[in-house]
């Protein structure tokens, strides 16, 4: 775990950069991070013009890997997604697909207007989404896809498309931002129009893969019993949670823990289950059931998305660091108190990674680093 903490911090920096760029989209961006670490699919529901495509493209630029994006229509053919048959091999009697630059080679896949998919590509897409496998005739290929994102302005209306929709474990709404944020949206949008050079953080596909490999090491014992009870409550409320989906949801909880640099899941990691609705009517029902579980967790290491009130306040962190500095300087401070100060400073340093505004984050981290240096100096002297 320790050797992968830099990758976790790097991914959090990437997510914070996206939050600064796309005002009012923090919820969606946090879910992108969870789905990426869990290697699960994410579906965005919302009207045109709400930055669905723009967010995925921005993430693709920061993810140093191959990406594939396609707008599906009722007439989309398999060749448009998977590539044409290789003519050279066909002359030799082999039926192989030339996948260069196409979906089977991508690390990040974005399928816009997914629910326009037709029967010609439906089965191939189901295997891609569920098993990360591309199969065409006798040709089978494992896919390097880290995450598949889809968007639509409507929910599925027939059974065939419902099967496709079901392969997206995470579902989130993407609407226009609140009126009080419109000025910030305009400002951020204008900066994008100007294409100003920004020193943006990035992360490689290999580093994300390393984090995904770590998912299975997260200990879920502490949440197993309440999680089973939660699934039962959802089923009793009429929310269809299949055994397959119940198993997969564990990956989301583990991803939430990893992003908080924990190897053990806690009750508040169940916040991710708010986003498994099938219909708009289910959103409030599921949120109410899940929130009852989340609110019982008083841990200090919760994922900030578990509760809006749990998002870090830069001013409060700054004040607390100054108080810790004053305590450290006190002549009468004991060895036990010094140990407590160091533990609290580690916690506050971790919280800083969730401050989305880069200037605020740097402002708060400066006194933290100064105090750490003084602690190290005192250890050397002793």
Average pLDDT over residues 190-216: 84
Identify whether 120 is part of a domain: yes
Final residue of a domain: which of 271, 306, 341? 306
Identify whether 208 is part of a domain: no
Average pLDDT, the chain: 88
Are 42 and 162 in the same domain?
yes
Are 57 and 119 in the same domain?
yes
Average pLDDT over residues 162-179: 89
pLDDT value, residue 189: 76
Final residue of a domain: which of 261, 281, 306? 306
User: Does 198 score more than 70 pLDDT?
Assistant: no
Q: Is residue 179 a contact partner of residue 68, using CB atoms and an 8 Å limit?
A: no
For the chain, what percent of residues have pLDDT higher than 70? 91
Are 141 and 244 in the same domain?
no
Are 222 and 350 in the same domain?
no
User: Interior CA angle at 379 toward 376 and 382, to 5°?
Assistant: 155
pLDDT value, residue 99: 86
With cut-offs at 50, 70 and 90, classify the pLDDT of residue 195: low
pLDDT value, residue 361: 85
Angle between helices 205-214 and 5-21 (to 10 degrees): 120
Identify whether 203 is part of a domain: no
Q: Which residue has the higher pLDDT, 334 or 283?
A: 283
With cut-offs at 50, 70 and 90, classify the pLDDT of residue 196: low
Q: Is residue 259 a contact partner of residue 303, using CB atoms and an 8 Å limit?
A: yes
Are 83 and 231 in the same domain?
no
Average pLDDT over residues 153-177: 90
pLDDT tens-digit readout, 8-28: 999 999 999 999 889 889 999
Average pLDDT over residues 216-231: 96
CATH code of 174's domain: 3.40.50.300
pLDDT value, residue 135: 85
Identify whether 201 is part of a domain: no
Number of alpha carbons in the 13 Å side-chain half-sphere of residue 308: 3
Are 246 and 318 in the same domain?
no
Q: Which of 194-208, 217-231, 315-329 has the highest mean pLDDT?
A: 217-231
Identify whether 21 is part of a domain: yes
pLDDT value, residue 359: 84
Are 61 and 174 in the same domain?
yes
pLDDT value, residue 235: 96
Identify whether 339 is part of a domain: yes
Q: Which residues pair with residue 71 across a beta bridge?
A: 112
Are 351 and 254 in the same domain?
no
For the chain, what percent of residues have pLDDT higher than 90? 53
Among 27-36, 74-83, 161-170, 337-346, whose mean pLDDT is lowest?
Answer: 337-346
Residues 6+ apart with CB under 8 A from 85: 79, 95, 96, 97, 98
Question: Could you give the dihedral angle defined by the CA atoms of residues 242, 246, 247 and 251, in that order, rounded to the nearest 10 degrees?
Answer: 140
Q: How many domains does the chain have?
A: 3
Average pLDDT over residues 140-145: 92
pLDDT value, residue 381: 56
N-to-C CA span, the chain: 30
Are 43 and 180 in the same domain?
yes
Long-range contacts of 335-344 (CB under 8 A, 24+ apart): 342/375, 344/320
* Sign of the torsion angle spanned by Cα atoms 349, 309, 58, 21: negative
Are 13 and 148 in the same domain?
yes
pLDDT value, residue 138: 75
Identify whether 190 is part of a domain: yes
User: Does 336 score more than 70 pLDDT?
Assistant: no
Identify whether 207 is part of a domain: no
Average pLDDT over residues 363-371: 90
- Which of 63, 22, 38, 3 has the alpha carbon at shortest distance from 303? 38
Are 238 and 185 in the same domain?
no
Q: Which residue range forms the structural domain that includes residue 189?
A: 2-194
pLDDT value, residue 272: 97
Final residue of a domain: which of 306, 338, 369? 306
Are 95 and 122 in the same domain?
yes
User: Does 171 score more than 60 pLDDT?
Assistant: yes
Q: Which residues pair with residue 67 across a beta bridge?
A: 108
pLDDT value, residue 200: 85
pLDDT tens-digit readout, 57-105: 999 999 989 999 999 999 999 999 998 877 676 666 667 888 889 999 9
Regarding pTM above 0.75, the answer is: yes
């Amino acid at each position: 775990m320790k050797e992968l903490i830099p990758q976790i911090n790097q991914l959090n920096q990437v997510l914070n950069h996206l939050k600064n760029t796309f005002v009012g989209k923090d919820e969606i961006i946090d879910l992108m991070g969870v789905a990426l670490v869990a290697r699960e699919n994410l579906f965005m529901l919302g009207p045109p013009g709400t930055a669905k495509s723009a967010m995925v493209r921005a993430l693709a630029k920061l993810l140093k890997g191959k990406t594939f994006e396609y707008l599906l229509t009722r007439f989309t053919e398999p060749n448009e997604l998977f590539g044409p048959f290789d003519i050279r091999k066909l002359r030799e009697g082999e039926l192989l697909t030339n996948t260069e630059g196409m979906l089977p080679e991508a690390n990040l896949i974005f399928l816009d207007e997914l629910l326009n998919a037709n029967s010609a590509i439906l089965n191939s897409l189901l295997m891609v989404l569920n098993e990360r496998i591309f199969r065409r005739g006798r040709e089978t290929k494992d896919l390097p896809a880290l995450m598949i994102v889809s968007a639509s302005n409507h929910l599925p209306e027939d059974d065939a498309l419902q099967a496709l929709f079901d392969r997206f474990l995470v579902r989130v709404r993407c609407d226009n931002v609140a009126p009080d944020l419109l000025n910030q949206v305009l400002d951020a949008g204008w900066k994008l129009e100007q294409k100003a050079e920004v020193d943006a953080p990035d992360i490689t596909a290999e580093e994300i893969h390393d984090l995904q490999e770590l998912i299975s090491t997260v200990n879920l014992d502490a949440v197993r019993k309440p999680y089973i009870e939660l699934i039962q409550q959802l089923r009793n409320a009429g929310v269809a949670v299949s055994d397959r989906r119940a198993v997969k949801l564990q990956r989301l909880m583990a991803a939430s823990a990893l992003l908080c640099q924990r190897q053990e899941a806690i009750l508040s990691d169940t916040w991710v289950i708010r986003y498994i609705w099938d219909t708009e009517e289910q959103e409030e029902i599921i949120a109410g059931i899940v929130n009852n579980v989340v609110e019982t967790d008083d841990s200090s290491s919760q994922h900030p998305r578990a509760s809006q009130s749990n998002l870090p306040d830069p001013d409060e962190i700054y004040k607390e660091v100054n108080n810790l500095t004053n305590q450290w300087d006190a002549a009468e401070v004991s060895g036990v108190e010094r140990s407590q100060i160091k533990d609290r400073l580690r916690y506050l340093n971790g919280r800083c990674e969730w401050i989305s505004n880069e200037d605020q984050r740097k402002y708060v981290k400066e006194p933290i680093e100064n105090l750490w240096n003084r602690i190290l100096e005192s250890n050397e002297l002793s």
